[in-house]
Amino acid sequence: MNYNINIREECFGATVMNLQNGQREYITKNELNDVLDKGIFPKDSIIQMMKSEHKIKFTPLEEKNPNHFSFADIAYIEVTRACNLRCKHCLNNSGEVMKNQLCKEDFLKLISDFANEGIQEIRFTGGEPLVHKNIFEFIEYAHNLGLYTSIGTNGTLITEDIAKKLTKVGLNMAIVSVDGTMEAHDKIRGNGSFNKTINGIKNLKKYNIEVRVNAVVMKSNIDDIVILAKDMHKNKTSLFIRRFIESGRGAFLKGHTLNKKDYDKLREKLAYELENGKYINGHYLRNDEKIKHRIELPFKFIKGCKAGQRAIIITPDGKIHLCGFLAAQGFEAVGNVKEVKNWREYWHNSHNVDYLKFLRENLDGYNELPGVQQTNCLAYVQRYLNNKE
């Protein structure tokens, strides 16, 4: 069935996702009953903008717990560590196939399990996901199960034929990496990569796949990121400016992480673009999620970022992590997909054991350091602790 709405029941009501644009909102129990019994959504719902017939994938709540969401919103699945580029700042040192990588059947079972438990989006990442021979089958399978599908890609492999195929299998969105001007980008990712990436973006747009550009900002490319952001704003293309964390090959780029003074300067240079329009977002700049907070939730996120709260990360060897940035810095995995018999039970139990307690306890100490960009990002704390050793 070609679903266009994904609803996961919660202790407070439900999490609703518009599969046409990836927007998410929360509704109450009474509103959920109206949706299920009468097909009526709240007047201020994001669904009211949809002109097509409502085709709903609904995941009921099995275990009521007022302290957390019934399951994750998004799964980041690294299908491979293989990559056609060798970017200098790569957070997980991608390049070669990882030993003990999950097979095709393992990935398909994982996608099916997640869909059954209420995952609403799967983002296929890497490495470069487009080098995996089964990536189109994975995307199509997830799409047919009523999930929003996205990929994180360097864009260099997206020919017109590839873009056409991605549309055919149901890809909703591509997150494409661009790190500034041609000169800055090619210096980081390799000569000629910029033009290939820009052509890839053009091909994606030609076949109506939503594109968001991701840019990793470092001390060495701040000015280039400003130029890129102004161009993206002018062209009405979404840009997310990501923080740089020293891990993977990026661990060799010492002193490239922005401090508070750097971020203040970046915000000042992008003041117009940040305040006028919806296209430029980023860590510590203006982080707009595609979430409409209509109602007050009965629980609050524990101190720190949302690691382990609304997302789950799977590496190519099947290890389960709470945050991709933490995983890249050697933070201990919290399980393996081959060992999980009941995902809903696993998700519930993971909230009863605070794997991140040590980092959260060090968060205040990190934020008190002179000159740092204050943060709730636990990966920043991990980076600081690694550098102290």
Per residue in 21-49, pLDDT tens?
Answer: 999 999 999 999 999 999 999 999 999 87
Is 327 part of a structural domain of the chain? Answer: no
Nearest to 246 by CA among 32, 38, 91, 78: 91
238 and 123 housed in the same domain? yes
Is 312 part of a structural domain of the chain? Answer: no
Residue-wise pLDDT for 141-184, tens only, equals: 999 999 999 999 999 999 999 999 999 999 999 999 999 999 99
186 and 43 housed in the same domain? no
Q: What is the mean pLDDT of the chain?
A: 93
25 and 129 housed in the same domain? no
Q: For 163-172, 228-237, 323-332, which range has the lowest pLDDT when averaged over its residues?
A: 323-332
Is 55 part of a structural domain of the chain? Answer: yes
Residue-wise pLDDT for 208-229, tens only, equals: 999 999 999 999 999 999 999 9
Q: What is the pTM of this model?
A: 0.95
Is 189 part of a structural domain of the chain? Answer: yes
Residue-wise pLDDT for 357-382, tens only, equals: 888 888 889 999 988 888 988 888 88
> Is residue 260 predicted with pLDDT exceeding 80?
yes
Contact predicate 138/108, CB 8 Å:
yes
State both tokens at 321: 């992590």
State both tokens at 245: 């964390």
Bridging pattern class, strands 311-314 and 320-321: antiparallel
Is 34 part of a structural domain of the chain? Answer: yes
46 and 145 housed in the same domain? no
179 and 54 housed in the same domain? no
> Is residue 63 predicted with pLDDT exceeding 80?
no
127 and 218 housed in the same domain? yes
User: What band does 251 get if pLDDT is binned at 50, 70 and 90?
Assistant: confident
Report the domain count for the chain.
2
Which ranges of the chain does DSSP label H, i.e. alpha helix?
29-38, 104-117, 135-144, 160-169, 182-189, 193-206, 222-234, 260-269, 271-275, 324-328, 343-350, 357-367, 378-388
* Domain range for 33: 5-59
Contact predicate 152/381, CB 8 Å:
no
Residue-wise pLDDT for 93-110, tens only, equals: 899 999 899 999 999 999
State both tokens at 64: 């009521």
Is 142 part of a structural domain of the chain? Answer: yes
Which of 292, 326, 341 is a domain's end point?
Answer: 292
Contact predicate 341/326, CB 8 Å:
no
> Is residue 277 predicted with pLDDT exceeding 80?
no
133 and 90 housed in the same domain? yes
> Is residue 389 predicted with pLDDT exceeding 70?
no
User: What band does 330 get if pLDDT is binned at 50, 70 and 90?
Assistant: confident
The DSSP letter of residue 216 is E
Which of 292, 316, 331 is a domain's end point?
Answer: 292
The DSSP letter of residue 142 is H
- State mean pLDDT over 87-92: 93
- What Rg value do the Cα atoms of the chain yield, rounded? 20
Q: What is the DSSP string of 254-269?
A: TT-S--HHHHHHHHHH
264 and 288 housed in the same domain? yes
Which of 265, 292, 319 is a domain's end point?
Answer: 292
Is 195 part of a structural domain of the chain? Answer: yes
User: What band does 5 get if pLDDT is binned at 50, 70 and 90?
Assistant: very high
